[in-house]
Amino acid sequence: MAESVQISNRQSTIQIIRAASSDIISTLGGDTFSFAMGLMLLHRTHSAISFGLGSIIYPLIGLLLVMPVGNLVDRRRHKPLILLSKATVIVALVLYAVLTANINDPMLLAVLLLVVIACCDKVTNTTFTAAVHELVNDKHVKTLATIEQAATAGIQLLSPILAAALYGWIGFSGIIRVEIAAEVLVLLIALSMHFYPLPAEDVPDTDGGEWQQFKIGLVYIKNRLTLRSVVVLGVGLNFLLSSIDVGLPYAIVQERHLGNANLSLVMSGFAGGILVGNLILSVLPSFKKVLLAVLRLCVLTGVGITLLGIIFLSTLTGNYLVVGLIVWAVAIGLVLAFINTPMSVYMQMTVPTKLLGRVGSTFSTLMTLALPAGTIAYGAFFQNFPAGPVYLITGLLVICYTGYQLVRTLRHEKVNRQIGQE
């Protein structure tokens, strides 16, 4: 990879502050709105899929847009793309606020809004991933990733509690207005950010059509063992992990009748674990063997889901059950932080900047490809079976699947060492 343009440490620090502020406000507004929408749909439709709409829509939109967005981001200036996508979200939210009081089908309107937001988020997230080296110097890439993750997790820690409180205080219509104000503020922060130009890189490219341009990113992932292995692992694992997004709210509110407030506390536990995990990562050196570390942590995640099944099968009730779920959520959030952040830093530091749009778009889309199927399948499972057995079986499947991938990788490492010695 060619060296990025010289950006001073002071300039990098300013950009990190702006990026973190944007993430805090965006996450606070977006998560509060999503949680409130899930509550509204859950209470009005009594459907287990109410909290899983995003898990269906976002991957499908990502799959449809993976090629055009990847090519677009690598060809166009990044700042205008971000500003345009944020402005589109604001317009969509305003229209939703006007229509939501006049349409009797809340699920349909929610789906339409999430489709628009998913399209815009695909552009925004891919663009920010590709623009990392335009915002900070190489020394601050890990700092930017960990601080953004920690800041986002800190807000996610509070957003479910805030959403439940605001839902009872100002109602869903009031939360829509709060989200519009938050997105306007994020747009203003993005407008103030400076994207430093980068020199041209010696990366092979082609003047062919959309597919030929996009194919370069696919070939890059195919030829890198770590990226290729994580994608294969992620497709299967994300199908199984969708059980948490869909089933936990349904099990807590509908099956155990613990209420919205206790649900918000449990969901905040995830963010608390992610926050602590990223704070620890900020002072630790980068992982040397990213793939092996991720695989071991994924096996640990499977153990955690198995324990969740045991918790729901136990005789715990009331506050004891809530405390147990909160502790579990914090532990799983900690593990997920040690999985997600190192992979993000690895990609940003190893993929040529000119390919980050295509590789990042492909990577994120393939990683979430199984979520729609998982959301639909687990929506049906939790609608018809108790949470305990579903989570117990899911956890065992995660352990078997990731354990098999870990054994294969260890054998591959052993063979490479033997070849090297010869």
Domain boundaries, the chain: 9-197+204-421
pLDDT of residue 91: 94
Q: Under CATH, which number does the domain 9-197+204-421 receive?
A: 1.20.1250.20
| Amino acid at the residue 185 | L
320-339 pLDDT per residue, tens: 888 888 899 899 888 888 87
How many CB atoms neighbour CB 98 within 10 A?
Answer: 10
Which alpha helices (DSSP H) does 46-140 contain, by range?
53-75, 78-99, 106-130, 132-135
CA Rg value for the chain: 21
Please name the residues in contact with 350: beta carbons below 8 A apart, sequence gap of 6 or more: 1, 224
| DSSP symbols for 210-252 | HHHHHHHHHHHHHT-HHHHHHHHHHHHHHHHHHHHHHHHHHII
pLDDT of residue 156: 64
pLDDT of residue 210: 58
| Amino acid at the residue 88 | T
37-88 pLDDT per residue, tens: 877 777 777 666 666 677 678 777 877 777 777 777 777 788 888 899 899 9
Distance (Å, whole) CA 135 – CA 195: 6
pLDDT of residue 348: 65
Distance (Å, whole) CA 215 – CA 196: 27
Residue ranges of the chain with per-residue pLDDT less than 50: 1-4, 202-206
pLDDT of residue 203: 46
Distance (Å, whole) CA 127 – CA 198: 15
Distance (Å, whole) CA 21 – CA 153: 13
Burial per residue of 130-152, b for 16 or more beta-carbon CB atoms within 10 angstroms, e otherwise: bbbbbbbbeebbbebbbbbbbbb
Among the listed residues 299, 304, 312, 307, the one whose alpha carbon sits nearest the alpha carbon of residue 382: 312
pLDDT of residue 3: 46
pLDDT of residue 199: 57
